[in-house]
Structure 1
């Protein structure tokens, strides 16, 4: 079961190649995921994190092949969302008195999930656990991305067990960052940050600087999903600092839904106008009724500006746009501009409503938006193209 990382540390997790959805249906996992659990064997033995509940019996069974469970002296739970703590009940049936090290909030969450009074040992930043030759040093990291989150640093081996931070939903049997497709890895790492950690960027920046100020040597960063950062491990830390700093690329993304293709035609004409003005801008068009919602949000994260388009229906906008707007609002993007567009036949309220929602979500509104009545004529498509030129000019 285990894969040796160092003389003292083994990976004992689960690679889930079949996973396609996560957080219910909120997050798409096109490339599967992994639930990384780590076994530390010094003079004392520690299990760091477990796996998701559907794999609890498999996890415990394989762990038994690796080690006598009764020889596990401590369990460390860095974060207790069910994809990390789900195997705890099955494990604790075997070793019910084993101390579980976690934050105060961690103990509350475990009790809330499993309604068990296990042997909790609560820790705070700076607390240590002596294993013999090495020590575990605990660092609270609340809101990265839950209130209970903490990092665990192992001295001697110079390993940072970072839980969700620096992770990705990415299945690989080879474990390390330098053994996988780099384009895939970057895509999944950015998607993970954009869709999960963006609302907590100020906490990300603060916590990373706090850890960097400790000047700890880092040979490995071991998150709870995806690859282990072995080659140049702190590169992902530097990337997080960039992503946390109101990130944007030279990109404009148009997100739209359309009933009879009129709004789609508008989107394409506006895109041409943007290209007319500045061919260096990356312009992407995404139909919210057809594209994956998390991929859309990743492109919004990359963008310096977005345009949201919808036909008007029942005095409002189309439901797929409503869902994307709700997710955008929750992610609290910063330092981005926006406007709205859309076709209509009767009343035409959608553009005004979209503009209001974008403003509520923290976007700087470029203009009141652009509407087209019924099916856009050739002249109207030229107007849309000119609107795109003006929108692009406003970004310079």
Structure 2
């Protein structure tokens, strides 16, 4: 049975959600599932904007058939060629053999790579600023390369002032009947997934996201239709401001984040003592995570959110505890920057992790790193509490 939603007078949501998928891109845990959004514009010409992942193909094709109600499909606009949005291009061509495919040069190069499909005869090649008139609707196209693939683009409907934003403004999480952000408690139930989605998938490309935002902000946008997550028709400025912060590596909250690794519990104990001291100094909403049991995607997202970070780490085989090292590599790979950080390490015979962590942090931009590093020998002792107080002073000043 079809499951569609009316977005505007002429626009319909024909996507679907997957609540069974455990890992997005086979990497990021998605306990709340994910939606794959696709949209149909009914005008003098009919337009499908992107397809979906093959896992939800049955629902999507039924939705599309219902909305078209016997009409042919004139255009398929491909804003993004990642397989969770383009998997059914060949299926659409088989079902609607007269369809024209709209994309840019890089789009069609990727179509030829993914599919054994003679796309040239049906290709509508567009470039920055080109338009497509479908009747009363005029669609404009803008390129947003590396947000987060090189062929990515957005489509703007000047009639309804709708921006089809590809992966920009998306979020993890399945849609539960309500497809609009104003129908859900987005700030409390969706914001964490939106932040984790953006920072992990596009965090490396902050400059490119900024370039895309500058293009978008020149338009009169009344609605955002992303390829994942809820549609935005109210309070767009609030969500756009989040993207401004995340893409400029600007802390979202004035909070301390404590990230620790611990083998037998001694480093964890020292981190807990430090967190208690921070609380005594007036810090509220301290965030604290064991890097061994928390997926790096959550830790990266929290690092983007908080303005101050403490890394507590045991030495392991003469190096950084592997779970912490993985996180540090993730931070560097995502172009992380602009934070105040402190480090303390632990070692029974060679406490060297702290120095190595500080060396990795120093390779990131604009990081204020506390010196020297507190070094615990096996277990925290009372005579080291004064050194710990210096970390607190550095963090709260």
TM superposition score normalised by structure 2: 0.92
Give the whole-Å Cα distance in 2 for the aligned partners of 1:391 and 1:276: 14
Secondary structure, in 3 states, of the residue corresponding to 1:299?
helix
Q: Which residue of 1 aligns with 2:375?
A: 371
1:22 corresponds to which residue?
Answer: 24
1:82 corresponds to: 83
What is the CA–CA distance in structure 2 between the aligned matches of 1:162 and 1:131, rounded to whole Å?
Answer: 19
Deviation at 1:314, TM superposition (A): 1.0
Contact residue 142 and residue 154 of structure 2 kept, 8 A: yes
Name the residue aligned to 1:253. Answer: 257
1:15-35 deviations in Å (ceiling 9; x for gaps): 22233310112x222321100
Q: Which residue is equivalent to 1:194?
A: 199
Structure 1 residue 70: deviation in Å? 6.8
Corresponding residue for 2:14? 12
Deviation at 1:179, TM superposition (A): 0.9
C-alpha distance in 2 between matches for 1:122 and 1:151: 14
Change (3 A) 1:259 1:360: same
RMSD of Structure 2 on Structure 1 (CA): 2.0
SS at structure 1 position matched to 2:215: helix
5 Å-filtered alignment, 1:132-211, equals: 132-172=135-175, 173-182=177-186, 183-211=188-216
How far apart, CA to CA, are the structure 2 residues paired with 1:280 and 1:153?
44
Change (3 A) 1:367 1:112: farther
Unaligned residue ranges in structure 2 (runs of 5+)? none
- What is the 5 A alignment of 1:215-364? 216=220, 218-248=221-251, 249-277=253-281, 279-280=282-283, 282-362=285-365, 363-364=367-368
Instruction: Determine the C-alpha separation between the residues in 1 that align with 2:363 and 2:347.
Output: 23
CA distance in 2, matches of 1:194, 1:65: 36
SS at match of 1:50: coil
Where in structure 1 do 4 or more consecutive aligned residues deviate above 6 Å? none
The equivalent of 1:3 in structure 2 is 5
Q: 1:257 to 1:115 in 2, by over 3 A?
A: farther
CA distance in 2, matches of 1:203, 1:272: 40
Task: Indicate the larger mover: 221-230 or 238-247.
Answer: 238-247
TM-score of the aligned structures, taking structure 1 as reference length: 0.92
Deviations, residues 194-223 of structure 1 (Å, cap 9, x unaligned): 222222222222322223224x2x232110
Give me the whole-angstrom Cα distance separating, in 1, the residues matched to 2:375 and 2:90: 57
